[in-house]
Amino acid sequence: MSDALSRLGQTLSRVTTMLLKKASQTNHNRLVAFGGLVLVAFLPTWVAIAWQSMLKGSSSFLLSAGFLYLGLDRLWRQRQTLAAEPPVDEERVLGYLLILVGAVSFPLLHTSASLLALVCMTIVLGIVICNFGLAGVHRYPLAIGLILISLYPDLGFLANTLRKVLTGNQLEVLMASLGGWALRGMGETVTVQGDLISLAATLDPDRSVLVGSGCSGFDMAFPIAGVAFILGLYLKQSWQKIGWLVAIGVVLSLLFNVPRIMLLAIAVVYWGKESFEFWHGPIGGQIFSSVLLTGYYYLAMAIIDQPTQPKSQ
């Protein structure tokens, strides 16, 4: 074991030495390396936020890792094509300016992880442009877009924030209405006011269920949609199949969220606070996620295994 670690350390040392030597050869390499160092400086912040989100039961870091892998893999496969068309001087200057603007902005925006991620996106875009030109960006927008998106450490938080800004609490209200309708089907007397569900068994407002952002189903729908997108691209599925994988994942997530809301309403009224906290917490959420992922797996495999219909002439 020690010998393997020693060989790994020696390999990493040689690679680091080679990269440092190459980075100092030309002004172009120095600027690109400078931008790379800023990206390395952002890595601890990225890891810390990803770790915190993981402890809360989020899987956003897996989406970011998947997007990064797919983006880099697509660009790596096209490296010879990209290298065959070097950028013109004006494009190189534009790329250098983006790197320098991002590097100068980085220490000024250290209090906001979101802004730091935006700065790193600017630097990566600058590195791409000064190496491959605008033609490379236009030719492989999906690969570059996946790399840029992966730099945000908590994509679930970002997507949920955008959803609430654009639609308010409409999803929460919808989930409360569906949960109330399902509870009435079980014989419960339910009052639904916006995103608040109250059962007739209690008159205490503190024992009603408020369908907040975490209970809206979005936290399950977004990761499944992201995984479906990554899976479709990795398995080289058609865009039609990828669309079906994403759509079915979102619909299934929202449908599975209805019994979760019902369970929370019943728990808070009949079973007590400890039971409610269990099902509302990370463990209860993971139980529902596991059941959801199991059901989604079989549906997704059925779609993937279905042969693609040839286009009619």
Of residues 4 and 227, more confidently modeled: 227
Place 311 in a pLDDT band, splitting at 50, 70 and 90. Answer: very low
Percent with pLDDT over 70 in the chain: 86
- The 10s digit of each residue's pLDDT in 169-195 is 899 999 889 988 988 888 877 888 888
Q: What is the pLDDT of residue 313?
A: 41
Indicate whether 120 pLDDT > 70.
yes
Indicate whether 10 pLDDT > 80.
no
| Residues 182 and 149 occupy one common structural domain | no
- Out of 131, 154, 177, pick the residue that ends a domain: 154
Indicate whether 145 pLDDT > 90.
yes
- Out of 100, 121, 154, pick the residue that ends a domain: 154
Contacts of residues 146-149 at CB distance under 8 Å and 24 or more positions apart, as own/partner, are 146/67, 146/68, 146/70, 146/71, 146/74, 147/67, 147/68, 147/71, 147/72, 147/75, 148/121, 148/124, 149/64, 149/67
106, 41 contact by CB (below 8 A): yes
Place 308 in a pLDDT band, splitting at 50, 70 and 90. Answer: low
Indicate whether 112 pLDDT > 70.
yes
**CB atoms < 10 A from the CB of 275, how many?**
16
**Residue 236 is assigned to a structural domain of this protein:** yes
**CB atoms < 10 A from the CB of 157, how many?**
19
| Residues 172 and 144 occupy one common structural domain | no
Place 122 in a pLDDT band, splitting at 50, 70 and 90. Answer: very high
Place 19 in a pLDDT band, splitting at 50, 70 and 90. Answer: low
Say which DSSP state 209 is in. E
- The 10s digit of each residue's pLDDT in 287-296 is 777 888 888 8
| Residues 88 and 183 occupy one common structural domain | no
| Residues 149 and 73 occupy one common structural domain | yes
Residues 263, 261: Cα–Cα separation, whole Å: 5
| Residues 149 and 248 occupy one common structural domain | no
Place 264 in a pLDDT band, splitting at 50, 70 and 90. Answer: confident
**Residue 86 is assigned to a structural domain of this protein:** yes
**Residue 11 is assigned to a structural domain of this protein:** no
Place 115 in a pLDDT band, splitting at 50, 70 and 90. Answer: very high
Residues 85, 87: Cα–Cα separation, whole Å: 7
Q: What is the pLDDT of residue 105?
A: 93
Alpha carbon of 295 to those of 223, 289, 291: distances in Å? 15, 10, 6
**Residue 10 is assigned to a structural domain of this protein:** no
Mean pLDDT of the chain: 83
| Residues 187 and 60 occupy one common structural domain | no
Residues 247, 251: Cα–Cα separation, whole Å: 6
**Residue 17 is assigned to a structural domain of this protein:** no
- Out of 98, 128, 154, pick the residue that ends a domain: 154
Of residues 1 and 268, more confidently modeled: 268
State pTM to two decimals. Answer: 0.80
| Residues 172 and 301 occupy one common structural domain | yes
| Residues 99 and 192 occupy one common structural domain | no
- The 10s digit of each residue's pLDDT in 48-86 is 888 888 777 677 888 898 999 999 998 888 888 887 888
Ranges 12-26, 68-82, 290-304: which has the least confidence = 12-26
**Residue 312 is assigned to a structural domain of this protein:** no
32, 22 contact by CB (below 8 A): no
Indicate whether 16 pLDDT > 60.
no
Residues 100, 39: Cα–Cα separation, whole Å: 12
| Residues 146 and 268 occupy one common structural domain | no
Residues 147, 24: Cα–Cα separation, whole Å: 26
| Residues 141 and 201 occupy one common structural domain | no
| Residues 118 and 142 occupy one common structural domain | yes
Of residues 243 and 292, more confidently modeled: 243
Residues 289, 108: Cα–Cα separation, whole Å: 40
Mean pLDDT over 152-164 rounds to: 89
Residues 23, 207: Cα–Cα separation, whole Å: 62
Q: What is the pLDDT of residue 2?
A: 55
Place 271 in a pLDDT band, splitting at 50, 70 and 90. Answer: confident
**Residue 183 is assigned to a structural domain of this protein:** yes
| Residues 110 and 209 occupy one common structural domain | no
Q: The domain containing residue 104 runs over which residues?
A: 23-154
- Give burial (CB, 10 Å; 0-12/13-18/19+) of 12: exposed
Terminal Cα distance for the chain, rounded: 61
227, 217 contact by CB (below 8 A): no
What's the domain count of the chain?
2
**Residue 13 is assigned to a structural domain of this protein:** no
